[in-house]
Amino acid sequence: MKLRIFSAILGLSISAHAWQEYFSFDKMPNPEGIDPQVGAMDTMKDGRIAVAFHRGEVMIFDPKSQKWSLFASGLHEPLGMLVEDDKNILVMQRAELTRIKDVNGDGSADEYQTVYDDFGMSGNYHEFSYGPIRDKEGNLYVALGIASNGAPMREEIRGKFSEIGKANRQQMTTQAEWKNNRGKAERMYARVEWRGWVMKLSPDGKKVEPYASGLRSPNGMAFDAKGRLLITDNQGDWRPTSPLYEIKKGGFYGHPASLVWKPDWDGTDPYTMDVKALDKMQSPPVGYFPQGELANSPTWPVVIPKGAMPDSLVGQTLIGEMNQPVLVRVLDDEVDGVFQTGLTPMFDGSKLGLGNNRIVFGNDGSMYVGKTALSWAGDRGITRIKWNGKPFFAVDKIKAVSGGFSLSFSEEVDASTLPKIAVESNTYNYFKQYGSPKVDKQAMPVVKSELSDQGRTVRIDLGGLKEGYLHAIDLTGVRSKSGSKLMGGKIWYQVIKAPK
């Protein structure tokens, strides 16, 4: 046991040293008198960073002077932010999307304007609200989390109440009755309007469209470089492990609680439906974060800009993670028009730390990671990560091909290390239990691995890929021809569609 622990520590120290050869990790000063748990961030045009803190302050950080200034206060658990210009910031509070305006230009807010609040609130502690993000046409999108049976609703609610469900309203709002009837509410519920939905708003916020359903706790949403709407969700009931979704209009993304608010819903209690029927309805995740291995609570996605990392990684998506000291890089792929991804760790074993809730890039390419803890594993404050311009050995791309995968590397690969590549596959149960063990876990023999493209592309022949399975590719033994260790040595690729 001691040997194993020592080996693990040694491995982390080597990895940490490797990352710090290419990136600096610096804690930024916290504002005085503020609980520095970050709920939202965005970059202003002049390079300053707008930050919303958990207790309701919106402050502006100047990276040059490393000074803070107060822009607004009194907000309710802000978990999303969009800077419109230096005088107008959209903030998603628990109860509404608000435009905070600096009317007189003195650097602090004078006006708080409600943009959108036409969604239900039951008073349950778990009804978080996320966003906004903006598409190329100027439309806004927000996501609404659902309630937990860890607590009841309040007697006074906002919006409509759905009578669909085993527990009635009195049982869900009266403490004495809740104690005996909480199981009827199911583990997570959406008994008030539009919980578990993505809502699309016109640029002025006046027109609202229910866009997609089936979400649980979607603590991350962004458009990627190709305009795809990505959302992360967290492991739980109806979530075998944390998923990454591409959200499309009209899609259902697995958690049945929100179906009661579907405009054409027939009144059926979705919790009484056959699981196979629900499974057939849902749009599958484009990626999975295996619990305890890659990520436990994935958070906000962000696109890597030019200058922040090597050019081969520019335009890729990077995702935060709360409970493990990593970020997650998304390797895009497409098979016959079907989008699917490989997910790989970044900064594993570095000085990054836990609680990586929000990410933005500064104008100089520096990455600012805002941290939070609440009652979970995490941290506080902001860490700035800056690339020093040195290239490093990494997987740039992954492609599902007939029989296996093609991997593109940033440097020439040492052919003698290819036999160390290992692959295994598994699927998961889709059911209402909290999380799922790995199902049908199997090692996949590597039939052949070969180099091409002047030693920078490796094709792995596995004899075929399994649709609906997560494929874990272990590359930790692979080295570059110059002897460099791979930065991010594992990839988890979800095969929705296998190439012919």
Mean pLDDT to the nearest integer, 222-249: 98
Confidence label for 284 from pLDDT (cuts 50, 70 and 90):
very high
Q: Is the pLDDT of residue 6 over 90?
A: no
| Mean of per-residue pLDDT scores for the chain | 95
User: How large a percentage of the chain has pLDDT more than 70?
Assistant: 97
Question: What's the topology of domain 395-495?
Answer: Immunoglobulin-like (2.60.40)
Q: Is the pLDDT of residue 17 over 80?
A: no
The whole-model pTM stands at: 0.95
CB atoms under 10 Å from CB of 55, counted, come to 16
Calpha distance 283→192 (Å, rounded): 24
Q: Which CATH number fits domain 25-301: 3.40.630.30, 3.40.50.2300, 2.120.10.30, 2.60.40.1510?
A: 2.120.10.30
Q: Is the pLDDT of residue 32 over 80?
A: yes
Q: Is the pLDDT of residue 202 over 70?
A: yes
Mean pLDDT to the nearest integer, 246-251: 98
Q: According to the 3-state scheme, what is the secondary structure of 28-60?
A: CCCCCCCCCCEEEEEECCCCCEEEEECCCCEEE
Q: Is the pLDDT of residue 3 over 50?
A: no
Q: Is the pLDDT of residue 7 over 80?
A: no
Q: Where are the domains of the chain?
A: 25-301, 395-495
Confidence label for 10 from pLDDT (cuts 50, 70 and 90):
very low
* R_g (Cα) of the chain, nearest Å: 23
Q: What pLDDT, in 10s, does the model give residues 420-455?
A: 999 999 999 999 999 999 999 999 999 999 999 999
Q: Quote the pLDDT of residue 204.
A: 87
Q: Quote the pLDDT of residue 376.
A: 76
CA-to-CA dists, residue 295 to 326, 335, 357, 441, angstroms: 8, 25, 12, 19
User: How large a percentage of the chain has pLDDT more than 90?
Assistant: 94
* Pairing, β 198-201 against β 208-212: antiparallel
β-sheet with 229-232: strand ranges across: 220-223, 229-232, 242-247, 287-289
Mean pLDDT to the nearest integer, 342-360: 97
Q: Find the largest Cα–Cα distance for the chain.
A: 71
Confidence label for 377 from pLDDT (cuts 50, 70 and 90):
confident
Calpha distance 369→361 (Å, rounded): 9
Calpha distance 72→232 (Å, rounded): 28
Helix-strand-coil split of the chain, %, nearest 5: 10, 40, 50
In angstroms, the first-to-last Cα distance of the chain is 46
Query: Residue-wise over 68-90: b if at least 16 C-beta within 10 A, else e?
Result: beebbeebebbbbbbbeeebbbb
Q: Is the pLDDT of residue 9 over 50?
A: no
Mean pLDDT to the nearest integer, 460-488: 97
